[in-house]
Amino acid sequence: MKGKVNSLSQARDVAQDYRLVPEDFMKHLLLTLGIVAAMVLIASFLFGVPEKQPLTIKAYATQHPVAFEQVALRALDGQGQLANYGPPYNHGTGSVQTSIQSVVGILHPINAAQDFILRPLSMAAAINPALRPSLKAFASASAAQQARWEAAATTALARASDHNGAVVWPAGSYGPVRTLLAATLSLGRSGLMYGALTRDGAVVDRFDNQNALLFLQGSPLQTDPATQSLQGSAWGIIHPAINGYPGAWWMTVPTWIYQWPFVANSAAPDALALILGFVVWVLLAITPWIPGWRRLPRYLGVHRLIWQNYYHDHPGGQAGAIRGEGVHHA
Amino acid sequence: MANWTEASKQRLQIVLSADTWLPTELPEYARGFMYMLGSLTASSFVVLVLSGILLAMNGPTSWSYNGAMRFVAATHFWGVQAFFFFMMLHLWRVFFSGAWRGGRGLTWLLGAIAFLMAIPTAFTGFLINGDLYSQWNAVQAKDGLNALGLGWVNLTDAGQMFGMHVVVLPLILAIIIGLHLTLVRVKSVVPPYPSAPILDEGQGE
């Protein structure tokens, strides 16, 4: 009985009085393919493809030597964003947004001091043996001594200056840290640091550039003038890296959610924005089963424009008899 | 229990039939630009697959340096824009048409899933372009995935992103689009709302 009521209701909701008309479907498909191909080729000829120069370690080290040494120091002393991130990289707490992030645990281990600074320097020491005493002095010092050197270096670098590319520190007791950071800067400027960060002694291919990308992910990328319009708080991803090109505008809804104050100010803004965006998608996806909402289009009346010709030709309402299952394979 | 082979055979006879896929007659209401939007979206996907195959054949370094391959990369880029542009117009058209009526709810749902899957498919493509946009979005978007416990998807691992973008995600997307199109063809496109006054308010909810 219920099925009969449903099919009756469906029949009332769906026009039955329409004709089948001859159509060259293959021509239709080839036409749309031709239209898209032509549009894409013309746009490619006229506009090419946006490609904004990435921020390289070499460029950052060359242009911002003091800031570069500060980034290296924060990796060394564990104060950097990645050094203190938490899962999936390490046991830090700085970027843990949810408990599930902690439960999933460490998947891509990063020890920032070792992986970003000390291991690349030990590789550089193979070419520049003068580095070895400093590396050895740092490694053999107690953690407390290392922390004192690093604290002194942090204070010093806040007052350091750039003299023709050389970082000039105020006088102080920095142990081997000053030498290590100067060597890191040289390695960065040489263009070899990217390779040192993506090193994997076990395989010859380099697919994973995680550490090279994450080394610059904090203030170097955040303060880069080129990324300011890409910041999450500035509607980030929907903007292109080069003005004038389209970005990922289809992400407008989650990006908009990201701007909501209670999301932006929450302790887990990224997780919350993605979850709420997913909820919006679920509501869209289950539209056919949401009472009331699913009937909205009929009341909005836009369908009268879409089927303007049909309604013009069928002004009298449900003229034809209900044809049961309707027309299949049309 | 019903015979599964018989049931599959009957269903496949419809799904694999040339009559299903190459109709010579269509409903009179299913004509004009509004009814090209779905085909334009599907055509954009075809352009993306073709340009994507050319890119994959030559490898990631080719599209960063080689002039001809940069042009192919451009067609891939504009193909994505066309795909989402027409998909969005198609989405609006089918929404305002109440296209889920007449037992077409699953067709709508599959379309919505295709839209959802298209987002990471496009995103992983942006990540392997090698420019500032790749660099920025890899390090920014990782926080959201990590927070949701999806850290195994390592956006800064170009190898994993290449595999996701070239094989995993487009394959899933192609299957979903294929199922969506199959249902569109088997069930046909939704007829208009009856032009009679709305008398059945509340029924069938």
Which amino acid, A43? A
Whose structure tokens read 């085909």?
B39
How far CA A131 is from CA of A125, A136, A160, A197, A299, in Å, comes to 5, 9, 22, 18, 76
Helix (H) or strand (E) holding B29: none
Band (A164; pLDDT cuts 50, 70, 90): confident
Residue A16 pLDDT: 86
Task: Classify the phi-psi angles of B32: left when phi > 0, otherwise alpha if psi is within -120 to 50, otherwise beta.
Answer: left
Task: Using CB atoms, pick whichever of B71, B112, B193 lies closest to residue A281.
Answer: B112
Mean per-residue pLDDT, A3-18: 67
Band (B98; pLDDT cuts 50, 70, 90): very high
Cβ of B75 within 8 Å of Cβ of A40? The answer is yes
Mean residue pLDDT across chain B: 92
Contacts of A70 (CB under 8 A, 6+ apart): A154, A157, A219
Angle subtended at Cα A170 by Cα A166 and Cα A176, rounded to the nearest 5 degrees: 75
Cβ of A317 within 8 Å of Cβ of B197? The answer is yes
Band (A2; pLDDT cuts 50, 70, 90): very low
How many structural domains compose chain A? Answer: 1
Residues of A in contact with B95 (CB under 8 A): 287, 297
| Residues A310 and B190: beta-carbon distance below 8 Å | no
Residues of B in contact with A51 (CB under 8 A): 64, 70, 129-131
Instruction: Answer whether residue A264 shows pLDDT above 60.
Output: yes
Whose structure tokens read 């081997």?
A176
| Residues A68 and A75: beta-carbon distance below 8 Å | no
Q: Which two tokens stand for residue A65?
A: 């030597």
Task: Using CB atoms, pick whichever of A9, A230, A249 lies closest to residue B136.
Answer: A230
- The whole-angstrom separation of Cα A280 and Cα A265 is 20
Task: Using CB atoms, pick whichever of A250, A295, A317 lies closest to residue B119.
Answer: A250
Residue B196 pLDDT: 61
Residue whose C-alpha is closest to residue A51's, from B133, B123, B165: B133
| Residues B188 and B25: beta-carbon distance below 8 Å | no
Least confident piece of the model among A51-55, B63-67, B197-201: B197-201
pLDDT in tens, B157-193: 999 999 999 999 999 999 999 999 999 999 999 999 9
Residues of A in contact with B51 (CB under 8 A): 40
Residue B101 pLDDT: 95
Residue B2 pLDDT: 80
CB contacts under 8 A, A 194-223 vs B, are 205, 207-210, 213-214, 216-217, 221
Angle subtended at Cα B87 by Cα B82 and Cα B93, rounded to the nearest 5 degrees: 130
Whose structure tokens read 């308010």?
B201
Half-sphere exposure of B197 (CA within 13 A, CB side): 1
pLDDT in tens, A128-147: 999 999 999 999 999 999 99
Mean per-residue pLDDT, A56-65: 96
β-partners of residue A208 are: B157
β-partners of residue A21 are: B26
- The whole-angstrom separation of Cα B164 and Cα B171 is 9
Contacts of B105 (CB under 8 A, 6+ apart): A288, A289
Q: Domain for residue A243, yes or no? A: no
Mean residue pLDDT across chain A: 89
Domain ranges of chain B: 32-187
| Residues B176 and B121: beta-carbon distance below 8 Å | no
- The whole-angstrom separation of Cα A96 and Cα B143 is 9
The gap from C-alpha A263 to its chain's centroid, in whole angstroms, comes to: 17
Mean per-residue pLDDT, B102-116: 97
Q: Domain for residue A262, yes or no? A: no
Give me the percent of chain A exceeding a pLDDT of 90: 67
Task: Using CB atoms, pick whichever of A20, A226, A236 lies closest to residue B27.
Answer: A20
| Residues B113 and A285: beta-carbon distance below 8 Å | yes
- The whole-angstrom separation of Cα B60 and Cα B80 is 18
Cβ of B96 within 8 Å of Cβ of A297? The answer is yes
Cβ of B148 within 8 Å of Cβ of A40? The answer is no
Residues of A in contact with B17 (CB under 8 A): 329
Residue whose C-alpha is closest to residue A174's, from A69, A82, A62, A92: A69
| Residues B114 and B169: beta-carbon distance below 8 Å | no
Cβ of B131 within 8 Å of Cβ of A52? The answer is yes
Band (A1; pLDDT cuts 50, 70, 90): very low
Cβ of A51 within 8 Å of Cβ of B131? The answer is yes
Which amino acid, A329? H
Q: Domain for residue A7, yes or no? A: no
Q: Domain for residue A1, yes or no? A: no
- The whole-angstrom separation of Cα A98 and Cα A101 is 5
Residue whose C-alpha is closest to residue A53's, from A313, A248, A241, A317: A241
| Residues A249 and B126: beta-carbon distance below 8 Å | no
Residue A321 pLDDT: 35
Cβ of A294 within 8 Å of Cβ of B113? The answer is no
- The CATH label, of 2.40.50.140, 1.20.810.10, 1.10.460.10, 3.40.30.10, for the domain at B32-187 is 1.20.810.10
Q: Domain for residue A84, yes or no? A: yes
Which structural domain, as residue segments, surrounds residue A178? 57-222
Q: What single DSSP character describes residue A161?
A: E
Whose structure tokens read 């070239």?
B166
Residues of B in contact with A235 (CB under 8 A): none
Residues of A in contact with B42 (CB under 8 A): 32
Contacts of B55 (CB under 8 A, 6+ apart): B62, B63, B69, B72, B73, B76
pLDDT in tens, A191-239: 999 999 998 778 888 899 999 999 999 899 998 888 888 887 777 778 8
How far CA B103 is from CA of A4, A157, B164, in Å, comes to 14, 69, 34
**Where are the extended beta strands (E) located within chain B?**
25-27
Q: Residue B179 phi/psi, 5° resolution?
A: -65, -40
Residues of A in contact with B154 (CB under 8 A): 107-108, 208, 210
Mean per-residue pLDDT, A39-68: 95
Mean per-residue pLDDT, A74-83: 92
β-partners of residue A162 are: A167
Residue whose C-alpha is closest to residue B135's, from A68, A51, A61: A51
Cβ of B147 within 8 Å of Cβ of A49? The answer is no
Q: If DSSP states are collapsed to H, E and C, what string results for B166-189?
A: HHHHHHHHHHHHHHHHHHHHHHCC
Q: Residue A201 phi/psi, 5° resolution?
A: -70, -15
β-partners of residue B25 are: A22
Q: Which of B48, B76, B89, B140 to mutate to test the interface with A (most CBs of A within 10 A)?
A: B140
Q: Count of A–B CB contacts within 8 Å?
A: 327
Distance from CA of B196 to the nearest CA of A (A): 4
